[in-house]
Amino acid sequence: MHGNPTWSYLWRSVAQRTLDVARAGGPAWRVVAVDQLDMGFSERTGVQRGLAQRVADLGALTDALALTGPVVTLGHDWGGVVSLGWAVDHPDLVVGVATCNTAVHQPGDASIPAPLRFALSPGVLGRGTVLTPAFLETTLAIAHPKLDRAVADAFRAPYRGAARRGGIGGFVADIPVDSAHPSAPELDRIAAGVAALDVPALLLWGPRDPVFLERYLDDLLRRLPHADVHRFEGAGHLLPEDVDVAGTVTDWLGDRLPEGTVPTGAEPSLQARPSPRWRGAPEPAGGAHLPADTDHVGDASRPLWAALDELRDDDGPALVEMAAPGGVRSVSWRLLARRVDEIAAGLGVVGVRAGDRVSLLVTPGADLTAVLYACVRIGAVVVVADAGLGLRGLTRAVRGARPDWIVGALPGLSAARALGWPGRRIATVALPTVARRALGVSHTLAEVARAGAVRLAAGGALPDAPTPDSTAAVLFTSGSTGPAKGVVYTHGQLGAVRDALATQYGVGTGTGLVAGFAPFALLGPALGARSVAPDMDVTSPRTLTATAVAEAVRAADATVVFLSPAAIANVVATASALTEGDRTALRRVELFLSAGAPVADSLLAAATELMPNATAHTPYGMTEGLLMTDVDLEGVRAAAAADASGVCVGVPAAGVTVRIAPLDARGAATGVLTDTAGVTGEIVVAAPHVRDHYDKLWRTDRASRLGVDDARGHRTGDVGHLDEAGRLWVEGRLQHVVTTPEGVLTPVGPEQRIERVPGVRRAAVTGIGPEGTQQVVAVVETVAPQRRPGLAPPSVASAVRAAAGVPVAAVLVVPVLPTDVRHNSKIDRTRLGRWASSVLAGGRMVRP
């Protein structure tokens, strides 16, 4: 069912896709796409058709068609309301419902969206919707990307002339703006009925819609908590035109209703499904540094905050803040445990409840740690997005997560106010009354803690602890491979992350940990480790210096250091500033870790020269699974001597299974998963500490599990292979695979060989041209930087071609290779591919 001012043409891709699926042997669904009366090419009745009449019209049509079911409804805009109204009235026929950007309830405390208020105003309604095509043209203009002219003309076809547009105006006039509107009772009836639907549901959403705002998606989710949801970042109101709604719908039908009914024993949706628990500890990996206290490792019932309870009478330092106001600040276990309890109780006083989402816009330190553990303790869901995403990325993340609360310092609160991020605000700092009002702050963290202390002193108790299957956190990815995705973890899974790190590296009670990587800083108290965040700008890892690392090691008496690859590069570059005292401190370090991107053996070696008594390890992982494999420096060196294609990231960590989904000729990961050596394909991991699902990204989550037989499994999007020794080699990203006439090519191997050419600092390999006939282009950054991009000099081009080991169609040089948003060490090959295609086709030779 279409909405206003479209018509059944909107569903042409759905009709075609269902036909294609049926022809391929899949389920055969009949598509009935209706032009509502007074809309499209249906009859012009001249009668104002209210919502109740439109629902009745649809019922009369299905009666005339003698539909006997099973039926799935699919609606867009106000067609979503009409179709859901039909579903409520036909419970004997409906087996599923799906919608695109619709609403069934207008909250009384929120105004009608501004574009509709404007369209409804007396001087605009008739002129803008009927007398002129303004409303229609505005709707067509907000497609992302812009509609082809032929498609736009097709949408205009039924509405040429004012006499044909009466239904558009009538539809706008029928929007229930308040409880006195004639259609308000029908909308209320449908809204109540939707909440009683117990059939599979799919909610598809374009966040750039200026009319159907995300509060309407929130309302639908409250009524259909079991629904599968997918938010298409970058898409807007005309969702079926903006993105592949047809493919998503047919995939969903195949999964949820393969024979027209829900299969016996089928899994519920990801949002409603209980999450897997870790039942038992894995065996320690060879060479792991086990902590003195490992009694609890692998205990799925042990909450994340258990170490705080166990150490609450310890006056030793739990946290050390290097950049605290007034100098270095130490927070004891006793103080941290008390503060967490007080904030947890205070959050309950101000109204934070289990299941509420709390966005933490706070830099790493004591405040962030205390609030995070307080939220986890009461069952609130913490939402954490790296400030390195930038304001645009953070806005997408926070709006997508739809937090109920925001806890932030002044920069975060200012951004939240200016950019309209949702959630009630709690400030971590004291603010003047005027500033509080301007920023919409309802409480400060100090006020929350005081309220909690009063409640606890009066005998109040904290609420029951959440279960291991309860959602604990939404952690956003780096945004290096597209819009940042919200990764959902349960309490049991976060506990499994803690235990995996303890098992693999022996980080536990009494360990001193320098955490130059945010996840480790937050997990330190869960491990019982004494944690210190070095003095640096957390949004820019390259600001970390060798001196700052030494100071942090000294302050926490640390034996473990964890840094990102980008941070290591600057630490090594600034080593000349170290004093003898700094070097003495660094000699205390026993274990050095780096993750987030592949680390060259030369960089690891340089870092261990600064920490000569440390064993260097570089774990492989991602936001969806922090620790998947591990390799030490000696392993990296041995792998480099093997001269294989890719970066060796070692053997699977404790409790982790790694398999490969082989690539076909199109570069797609297909076939049966294998652990056979030498097979290149997508890397698939499974472990108790892999994430539960992606937040409101049903299609993405489905793709990450497709063909994976382990409920704990995850397709990483990385490509690589296993060798005879069981070591994993990463060869690039799946979307960067080049499909040449000679076969599939992964980029990392040729890049490594090109980087051995004298004078080449870094290299990137990308493909241009149609799938299956792509030509390889090498883009290099030279040791002596080029002033402007261009074709490589003949001598450089010849050397690159000779070294690459594959046919190279063109060699380009750039001053600096572009890197992704957050990981300065990850080259943005997608961006380079677009740039190379443009310049080799005669476009301007500008920087990529």
In the chain, where the domains are located: 8-256, 647-733, 737-840
Given a cut of 70, whether residue 783 has pLDDT beyond it is yes
Strands 486-490, 471-476: pairing is: antiparallel
Given a cut of 60, whether residue 654 has pLDDT beyond it is yes
Q: Which of 103-112, 496-505, 818-827 has the largest mean confidence?
A: 496-505
Can you tell me the distance from the alpha carbon of 667 to that of 70, in angstroms, rounded to the nearest whole number?
A: 38
Q: What angle do CA 659, 250, 261 make, to 5 degrees?
A: 95
* pLDDT tens, residue by residue, 664-683: 989 999 879 999 999 999 99
- pLDDT of 293 reads 45
- Dihedral sign of CA atoms 214, 219, 223, 225 in order: positive
Q: Give the architecture (CATH level 2) of 737-840.
A: 2-Layer Sandwich (3.30)
Mean pLDDT computed over every residue of the chain:
89
Can you tell me the distance from the alpha carbon of 72 to that of 32, in angstroms, rounded to the nearest whole number?
A: 10
Given a cut of 80, whether residue 251 has pLDDT beyond it is yes
- What CATH number labels 8-256? 3.40.50.1820
- pLDDT of 278 reads 25
Q: What is the pTM of this model?
A: 0.90
Q: Provide the CB-side half-sphere exposure for 197 (13 A, CA).
A: 34
Given a cut of 70, whether residue 841 has pLDDT beyond it is yes
Given a cut of 60, whether residue 823 has pLDDT beyond it is no
pLDDT (mean) for 105-115: 79
Q: How confident is the model at residue 539 (pLDDT cuts 50, 70, 90)?
A: low
- pLDDT of 130 reads 94
pLDDT (mean) for 10-39: 95
Q: How confident is the model at residue 300 (pLDDT cuts 50, 70, 90)?
A: low
pLDDT (mean) for 147-154: 97
- pLDDT of 298 reads 55
Cα-Cα-Cα-Cα torsion 478, 480, 486, 490, nearest 10 degrees, comes to -60
Residues forming beta bridges with residue 231, ordered by sequence position: 205
Residue length, the chain?
A: 848
- pLDDT of 635 reads 86
Given a cut of 50, whether residue 18 has pLDDT beyond it is yes
Report how far Cα 52 is from the mean position of its chain's Cα atoms.
40
Given a cut of 60, whether residue 292 has pLDDT beyond it is no
Q: Which two tokens stand for residue 814?
A: 């750039």
Q: How confident is the model at residue 267 (pLDDT cuts 50, 70, 90)?
A: low
Residues 6+ apart with CB under 8 A from 239: 76, 100, 101, 204, 205, 206, 209, 232, 245
* pLDDT tens, residue by residue, 409-467: 898 899 899 888 889 999 999 999 999 999 999 999 999 999 999 999 999 999 999 99
* pLDDT tens, residue by residue, 680-728: 999 999 999 999 999 999 999 999 998 888 888 999 999 999 999 999 9
- pLDDT of 112 reads 79
Query: For the sheet containing 647-652, what is the strand order?
Result: 620-622, 625-630, 647-652, 728-733, 713-722, 681-686, 657-662
- pLDDT of 23 reads 94
Query: For the sheet containing 591-594, what is the strand order?
Result: 329-332, 317-321, 530-533, 512-516, 560-563, 591-594, 615-617
Given a cut of 50, whether residue 297 has pLDDT beyond it is no
Given a cut of 70, whether residue 274 has pLDDT beyond it is no
Residues forming beta bridges with residue 790, ordered by sequence position: 813
- pLDDT of 308 reads 95
Strands 560-563, 317-321: pairing is: unpaired
Backbone angles phi, psi at 153, to 5 degrees: -65, -35
Phi-psi region of 402 (alpha: psi -120 to 50; beta: other; left: phi over 0): left
Of 284-298, 429-443, 497-511, which gets the smallest average pLDDT? 284-298
Q: What is the largest CA-CA distance in the chain?
A: 90
- pLDDT of 516 reads 79
Of 103-107, 230-234, 320-324, 648-652, which gets the smallest average pLDDT? 320-324
- For domain 647-733, give the fold: Luciferase; domain 3 (2.30.38)
Residues forming beta bridges with residue 810, ordered by sequence position: 777
Within 579-722, residue ranges assigned H as helices are: 580-586, 601-610, 633-642, 698-705
Backbone angles phi, psi at 493, to 5 degrees: -70, -40
- Dihedral sign of CA atoms 523, 527, 531, 534 in order: negative
pLDDT (mean) for 840-848: 83
Can you tell me the distance from the alpha carbon of 627 to that of 294, in angstroms, rounded to the nearest whole number?
A: 18
- pLDDT of 260 reads 86
pLDDT (mean) for 57-76: 95
Please tell me what DSSP assigns to residue 819.
B
pLDDT (mean) for 210-237: 95
